[in-house]
A and B are shown apart, each in its own frame.
Chain A
Amino acid sequence: MIQLKGVVKEYGNAKNKEVTRAVDGIDLEINQGEFIALLGPSGCGKTTTLMMIAGLLKATKGEILFDGKVVNQMEPKDRNIGMVFQSYALYPHLKVIDNIAFPLREKKVPKAEAYEKAKNIAKKLQIENLLNRKPAQLSGGQQQRVAMARALVKEPQILLLDEPMSNLDARLKLDLRDEIRKLQREIGVTTIIVTHDQEEALAISDRVAVLDAGKIQQYDTPYNLYHKPKNLFIANFLGTPPMNIVEGHVEEQDGRQVFAAEGVRYMLPQNREVAKEHIGCRVAIGLRPNDIRICESTENTIPVRIELVEQLGAEQLIKAKPLAGDHIIRIVAENEMKLKAGETVSIRILENKFHLFNLERNGINILS
């Protein structure tokens, strides 16, 4: 088990004594054999966190524990980690086979055994026909496999992957993703992947830690992240096309609660009403484009005018504006519906699929 307790990393700038906090108090627990992802926008501290786990950077504050033992002072070489870098970082002067055997040779594994193991792992990753090439003679995808093999050959306790697929084309990415997942299951190595590709993170990992500004915003299963976002940041960050966020407030009317915003009035279902303290606060409603239906005008629907219809292939994306408002609402609709720009239609919000965030309390989700 890997534990991070209140880990902080500050980068000093010797010239003007300025300090930047790249990681700002992270708590994280990763179980044996688990596959987790660190996900977040560029510069949020993902790589920094990974490097601290690898021991390549020293934490400014906080503790990192492997199986209950504090490892803050342990050298990277003693941590038994396999790491794949974004650039792959293959040793350019060594042939592929020597690259893969390198970690074993450093561990003083006898030559014959080291090369035997290197060949086995190469076979597993389908690169046994490349063993005598130099890294410069490989394609990106092949280099990635070699890097993977080199990380796995020493049977590490932890596998760290820093954006391992960001240099590959979309198709190859998908294949490799499944392969990595399969391999990880097979070997059972605890794995942390850093990525800014949310689809990749959600698809590949058991749990995802979403980072922003050096802090973990939510650490949860992919399902919960998508369906039960803890706050507005998570809701906004995950999902394509992105969630619709409409700012307004909740008010009481005839004993029922109503979400009201410019051009939008939506009576909350009785089983999903908010606590009294949120009434009158600045509140945003979050609606996934897939959770809105276009329908006949009936009770509790919102009239909108279609501004734009975009083909997504399997479905169509509608951009519409409430008749009495000026914000765009994105709606995903089936291709069978014949919709045209300029048309006025009504939309219905799926009763158990909307979220409310209190903007006066850091956008916390007040319905979950």
Chain B
Amino acid sequence: MSKKILKLLVVHTYMAMLTVPILFMIVWYFMTATFNSYTGSFSLDNFAFMFGPIESMGIKLPAIWPIVLNTLVYSFTIVMIEVLISVPAAYAFSRLDFKGKRNAMKFLFIMRSFPGVTLIIATFFILVKMNLVDTYLGIILVAITGSLPGHVYIMKGFFDEVPWDLEWAAMTDGCSRFRAFRKVILPAVKPGIGAIAIFSFLGAYGEWFLFKLLIFSDTRLIIGGYIAKLITEENVIVDYGLISALGLFYTLPVILFYIFSQKIFMKVNIGGSKGV
């Protein structure tokens, strides 16, 4: 047996050992969602939530579709705001000279690695004072403050990669600075914009903690918060079948998205000038 085959064998065994438990969990997850735990036979009863409000072990859940809509509106709003702020901000950090840039960068770095949860009580009181508790505005402000620094930082990395020559070339070719940004720099950092858009979306889509804390009206919930309702004050999950079904409903779009977009992300390439 050649060395190569041996190597492959080792690698595959190792990978299998790591993935089998995960696979097992996923299968188990599917089974809990689609089998009746008492009769042990296949049933879609757990998916009743898709067709109207339900009640399980004393916990009332409203109809899910308005919540799905909330989730999408909330997530895309966050994506829009984060992209619109972080792209120009990162450009400025990467390419412009302005007063206080170094300190702003330091602040950004600290914010990025700061565990925001530790501030949550203060945040809550500030929102109360500002009358922003139980509003989207309030929760969006809090969510964005938490994730924006990291995204600006990532985006800055992408701008740093774009050679100055490219911008200069555009400027001698008749572009103003802004137009050079739009026509040449922006296309060059597209993969970066895609990346932060996805990060923002996933961050927002997966949010539940802030909703549990800052939103009280069921009409404003998003799916994450909706599912969290099934966990009681005593941290007991009341209905495993239902929560698995909800979880499946929740994660399936993301998984499908990953499967279909992964090829595109693999193909993404940055830079084009040789020899720099």
| A window 14-52: CB within 8 A of B | 14-15, 51
Q: Does A143 belong to the interface (CB within 8 Å)?
A: yes
Q: Does B16 belong to the interface (CB within 8 Å)?
A: no
Q: Does B188 belong to the interface (CB within 8 Å)?
A: yes
* Distance of A211 from chain B, by nearest CB (Å): 21
State A136–B269 Cα separation when bound (angstroms).
10
State A15–B166 Cα separation when bound (angstroms).
27
| B window 253-276: CB within 8 A of A | 269-276
Residues of B within 8 A of A87 (CB): 163, 165, 273-276
Q: Does A368 belong to the interface (CB within 8 Å)?
A: no
* Distance of A195 from chain B, by nearest CB (Å): 16
Asked whether, in the complex, the Cβ of A56 is within 8 Å of the Cβ of B172, the reply is yes
| B window 149-190: CB within 8 A of A | 163, 165-166, 168-176, 179, 183-184, 187-188, 190
Q: Which of B173, B271, B273 is the most central at the interface, judged by chain A CB atoms within 10 Å of its CB?
A: B173
Asked whether, in the complex, the Cβ of B274 is within 8 Å of the Cβ of A88, the reply is yes
Asked whether, in the complex, the Cβ of A103 is within 8 Å of the Cβ of B173, the reply is yes
Residues of B within 8 A of A77 (CB): 171-176
State A102–B175 Cα separation when bound (angstroms).
10
Number of chain A residues close to chain B: CB under 8 A:
36
Residues of A within 8 A of B272 (CB): 90-93, 134-136
Asked whether, in the complex, the Cβ of A92 is within 8 Å of the Cβ of B275, the reply is no
Q: Which of A14, A106, A135, A138 is the most central at the interface, judged by chain B CB atoms within 10 Å of its CB?
A: A106
Q: Does A76 belong to the interface (CB within 8 Å)?
A: yes
Residues of A within 8 A of B170 (CB): 91
Asked whether, in the complex, the Cβ of A75 is within 8 Å of the Cβ of B176, the reply is yes
Residues of B within 8 A of A (CB): 97, 102, 163, 165-166, 168-176, 179, 183-184, 187-188, 190, 269-276
* Interface locus among A58-66, A78-86, A176-184, A267-275: A78-86
* Distance of B150 from chain A, by nearest CB (Å): 26
State A154–B97 Cα separation when bound (angstroms).
31
Residues of B within 8 A of A103 (CB): 173-174
| Binary interface encoding of chain A residues 90-113 relative to chain B, with 1 for a CB under 8 A from any of its CBs, else 0 | 111100000000110011000000
* Distance of B141 from chain A, by nearest CB (Å): 33
| A window 226-278: CB within 8 A of B | none
* Distance of A189 from chain B, by nearest CB (Å): 14
Q: Closest 4 interchain pairs by CB?
A: A92-B272, A106-B174, A89-B165, A89-B169
* Distance of A166 from chain B, by nearest CB (Å): 8
Residues of A within 8 A of B169 (CB): 83, 85, 89-91, 150
Residues of A within 8 A of B171 (CB): 56, 75-77
State A143–B169 Cα separation when bound (angstroms).
14
Q: Does A120 belong to the interface (CB within 8 Å)?
A: no
| Binary interface encoding of chain A residues 337-362 relative to chain B, with 1 for a CB under 8 A from any of its CBs, else 0 | 00000000000000000000000000
Asked whether, in the complex, the Cβ of A76 is within 8 Å of the Cβ of B172, the reply is yes
Q: Does A167 belong to the interface (CB within 8 Å)?
A: yes
* Distance of A285 from chain B, by nearest CB (Å): 42
Q: Which of B176, B270, B275 is the most central at the interface, judged by chain A CB atoms within 10 Å of its CB?
A: B275
Other-chain residue from B97, B183, B273 in contact with A88 (beta carbon distance below 8 A)? B273
Asked whether, in the complex, the Cβ of A89 is within 8 Å of the Cβ of B274, the reply is no
Residues of A within 8 A of B274 (CB): 87-88, 136, 138, 140, 143, 167
Q: Which of A54, A79, A90 is the most central at the interface, judged by chain B CB atoms within 10 Å of its CB?
A: A90
* Distance of A42 from chain B, by nearest CB (Å): 16
State A143–B275 Cα separation when bound (angstroms).
10
Residues of A within 8 A of B269 (CB): 136
Q: Which of B171, B187, B188 is the most central at the interface, judged by chain A CB atoms within 10 Å of its CB?
A: B171
**Cβ-closest chain B residue relative to A162:** B165
* Distance of B96 from chain A, by nearest CB (Å): 12
Residues of B within 8 A of A56 (CB): 168, 171-172
Q: Which of A51, A79, A93 is the most central at the interface, judged by chain B CB atoms within 10 Å of its CB?
A: A93
Residues of A within 8 A of B188 (CB): 92-93
Asked whether, in the complex, the Cβ of B97 is within 8 Å of the Cβ of A14, the reply is yes
State A285–B54 Cα separation when bound (angstroms).
102
